[in-house]
């Protein structure tokens, strides 16, 4: 975010830090217990799981980000009637700030599970509290306070990978570039790190990680906790894109126990969309990340367990197991999830065209998303983008606002054949976009993972061109994320998409695969409409089918599904 833009703490302070009335506090007493703290005690410490969300009854609590590099001023001092907490307390994750009692403090401490009950049972108060928790996280994201510190060059593929992971998961962080930031050197000296070993990550709990995987980083900052191998969930959802998150919200809100896995980040493809303009209810459009972050918080509010990043690598039937755990998912972390039903919502990913040396430039110069991170990397430059679908069109419009020139390469004879009219018209009105039809990329040039030029060729004339392009964006169609499944698990179509419903058997429920109790929704499902709205719709619809399955097998006393007219 540009420094010129006002921060959320300046514009929405009253919503971030509301004061509860004595009557409201009385109503909330039943969710927690009163605890006393002496001056100098911590109600929460950065990097450690706090006992809960706290409502201050008396005394004062200072909220201060802990920073290895500079002394940061307190964010706020809570007095009687105000409450301490942000989204970490909702999920039961480690705190991102220190909360220090300045004087003797008495507070109602509400653990994460009870906080979720409060948000649901106390609708109006819950809405105010939820808004405050979200805005406080936005405030931390704006300053990077409370999260890990990454030290490495901005264009380094591992820095991009780690920053992308933290950004996509809505986790605050700071990046220090050793080329421009003197404080990076202080850290390198303090921890005796050779600059050749970058990137490093300094976590809020004081641990130093050398170029960690996303899972190592997530574990260190408390985002990824172990799965209880004995627990049997009503439903395990593979994929936290719009389909998986919708299924999680509806299933959890209807009383099912839910686990959601995603190997990357919440939001799926939609989370990478710069602007979604055709989702019902958002006439001015909404960024995919904003829409998906709301869904993610909503699913957590209803008590869905999130495991991100964690990948389902194998599906197993465990029929006959006690507690009705008909299925087991094996994860890349070598853990297992036991569940009574499974929802496959693993979506699709963009195809990699067969261009020589493509892998060499991926992660640094070749991109499959156009998020603010990528936009920043190529500001003021010339870029090329391949693809003729709506996602390509959106990315062009987004990038054109920041780059000098976009070359849009389309294999077909026109854009109109595959892109919505509104995007075609918008692109036509952009002076810095040039559309090249019947054109394909034929060569990439560069060294050390940095692209220097792209060559393309017209298929009708054979004419070739070479441009000094350092960033290439590929939006060239999708293939299903079903490598973790085999035909023995569930029936797949010729392209690898999961087959469902009447297609696999007359007795199948809607969205049920060839295996009873296993469902598929969203982009991964054969014949689905590849849109956010349809993925969300299927996520809602599948929950009725899960209730039906669970009731049939008597696995649990399934609550009645909502009436169809509701």
Cα–Cα nearest to 131, from 54, 53, 24, 17: 17
Report the nearest approach of ligand FAD to the CB of residue 133 (Å): 24
Residues 532-551 that bind ligand FAD (CB under 6 A): 532-533, 535
Nearer to ligand FAD, 165 or 484 (CB): 484
Site string for ligand FAD, 122-161 (x = CB under 6 A): ----------------------------------------
Cα–Cα nearest to 305, from 335, 337, 329: 337
R_g of the chain computed on alpha carbons: 25
**257 near ligand FAD, judged by CB under 6 A:** no
Report the nearest approach of ligand FAD to the CB of residue 479 (Å): 11
Residues 440-469 that bind ligand FAD (CB under 6 A): none
Cα–Cα nearest to 356, from 252, 486, 445, 261: 445
Exposed e or buried b per residue across 22-47, where buried means at least 16 C-beta atoms within 10 angstroms of its C-beta: eebbeebeebbeebebeeeeebbbbb
Tokens 């393309």 locate to 456
**486 near ligand FAD, judged by CB under 6 A:** no
Residues 393-422 that bind ligand FAD (CB under 6 A): 394-395
Nearer to ligand FAD, 133 or 263 (CB): 263
Report the nearest approach of ligand FAD to the CB of residue 488 (Å): 17
**What is the spatial distance between Cα 239 and Cα 219, in angstroms, rounded to a whole number?**
19
Beta strand 471-474 pairing with 366-367 = parallel
**391 near ligand FAD, judged by CB under 6 A:** yes
What token pair was written down for 355?
Answer: 């261009």
Report the nearest approach of ligand FAD to the CB of residue 397 (Å): 11
Judged by CB under 6 A, how many residues of this single chain contact ligand FAD?
A: 38
Residues 196-255 that bind ligand FAD (CB under 6 A): 238-244
Angle 89-94-98 (CA atoms, 0-180°, nearest 5)?
A: 85
User: Are 239 and 263 spatial neighbours (Cβ–Cβ below 8 Å)?
Assistant: no
HEC secondary structure over 280-305: CCCCCCECHHHHHHHHHHHHHHCCCE
Sole binder of ligand FAD in the list 312, 378, 419, 444 (CB under 6 A): 312
What token pair was written down for 538?
Answer: 């299927």
Which region among 494-502, 507-515, 520-528, 540-548 touches ligand FAD (by CB under 6 A)? 520-528
Report the nearest approach of ligand FAD to the CB of residue 190 (Å): 36
Helix axes 288-301, 112-121, angle to 10 degrees: 100
**489 near ligand FAD, judged by CB under 6 A:** no
Nearer to ligand FAD, 187 or 423 (CB): 423
**352 near ligand FAD, judged by CB under 6 A:** no
Site string for ligand FAD, 258-287 (x = CB under 6 A): ---xxxx---xxx-xx--x-x---------
Sole binder of ligand FAD in the list 257, 481, 513, 514 (CB under 6 A): 481
Answer whether the bond into residue 309 is a cis peptide, omega within 30°.
Answer: yes
**91 near ligand FAD, judged by CB under 6 A:** no
**CB-neighbour burial class of residue 531 (10 A; exposed 0-12, middle 13-18, buried 19+):** middle
Give the interface with ligand FAD as residue ranges (CB under 6 A).
Answer: 238-244, 261-264, 268-270, 272-273, 276, 278, 311-312, 345-348, 390-391, 394-395, 481, 484, 522-524, 530-533, 535
């Amino acid at each position: 975010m540009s420094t010129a833009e006002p921060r959320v703490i300046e514009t929405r302070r009253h919503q971030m830090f509301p004061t509860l009335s004595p009557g409201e506090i009385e109503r909330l007493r039943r969710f927690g217990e009163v605890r006393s703290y002496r001056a100098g005690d911590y109600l929460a410490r950065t990097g450690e799981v706090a006992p809960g969300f706290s409502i201050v009854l008396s005394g004062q609590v200072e909220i201060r980000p802990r920073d290895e590099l500079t002394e940061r001023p307190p964010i706020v001092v809570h007095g009687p009637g105000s409450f301490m907490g942000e989204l970490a307390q909702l999920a039961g994750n480690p705190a991102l700030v220190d909360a220090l009692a300045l004087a003797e403090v008495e507070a109602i401490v509400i653990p994460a599970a009870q906080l979720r009950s409060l948000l649901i049972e106390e609708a109006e108060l819950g809405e105010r509290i939820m808004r405050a928790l979200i805005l406080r996280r936005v405030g931390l994201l704006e300053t990077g306070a409370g999260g890990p510190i990454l030290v490495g060059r901005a264009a380094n593929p591992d820095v991009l990978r780690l920053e992308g992971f933290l950004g996509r998961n809505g986790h605050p962080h700071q990046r220090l570039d050793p080329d421009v930031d003197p404080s990076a050197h202080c850290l390198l000296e303090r921890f005796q790190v050779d600059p050749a070993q970058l990137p490093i990550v300094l976590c809020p709990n004081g641990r130093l990680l050398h170029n960690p995987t996303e899972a190592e980083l997530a574990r260190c900052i408390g985002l990824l906790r172990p799965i209880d191998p004995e627990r049997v969930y009503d439903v395990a959802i593979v994929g936290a894109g719009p389909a998986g998150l919708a299924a999680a919200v509806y299933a959890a809100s209807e009383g099912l126990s839910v686990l959601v896995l995603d190997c990357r980040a919440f939001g799926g493809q939609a989370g990478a969309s710069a602007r979604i303009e055709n989702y019902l209810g958002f006439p001015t459009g909404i960024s995919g990340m904003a829409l998906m972050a709301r869904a993610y918080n909503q699913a957590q509010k209803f008590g869905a367990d999130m495991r991100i990043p964690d990948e389902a690598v194998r599906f197993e039937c465990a029929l006959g197991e006690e507690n009705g755990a008909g299925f087991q998912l094996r994860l890349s972390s070598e853990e297992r999830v036991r569940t009574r039903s499974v929802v496959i919502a693993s979506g699709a990913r963009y195809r990699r065209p067969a261009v020589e040396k493509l892998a060499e430039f991926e992660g640094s110069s070749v991109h499959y998303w156009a998020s603010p991170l990528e936009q920043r990397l190529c500001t003021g430059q010339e870029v090329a983008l391949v693809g003729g679908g709506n996602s390509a069109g959106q990315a062009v419009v987004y990038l054109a606002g920041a780059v000098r020139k976009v070359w849009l390469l389309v294999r077909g004879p026109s854009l109109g054949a595959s892109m919505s009219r509104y995007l075609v018209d918008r692109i036509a009105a952009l002076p810095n976009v040039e559309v090249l039809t019947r054109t394909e990329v034929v060569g990439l040039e560069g060294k050390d993972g940095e692209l220097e030029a792209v060559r393309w060729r017209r298929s009708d004339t054979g004419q070739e061109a070479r441009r000094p392009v350092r960033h290439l964006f590929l939006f060239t169609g999708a293939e299903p994320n079903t490598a973790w499944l085999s035909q023995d698990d569930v029936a797949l179509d010729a392209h690898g998409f999961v087959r469902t419903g009447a297609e696999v058997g007359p007795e199948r429920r809607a969205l049920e695969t060839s295996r009873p109790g296993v469902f598929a929704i969203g982009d991964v499902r054969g014949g689905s409409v590849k849109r956010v709205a349809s993925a969300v719709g299927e996520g809602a619809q599948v929950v009725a089918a899960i209730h039906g399955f669970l009731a049939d097998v008597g696995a649990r006393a399934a609550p009645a599904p909502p009436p169809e007219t509701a």
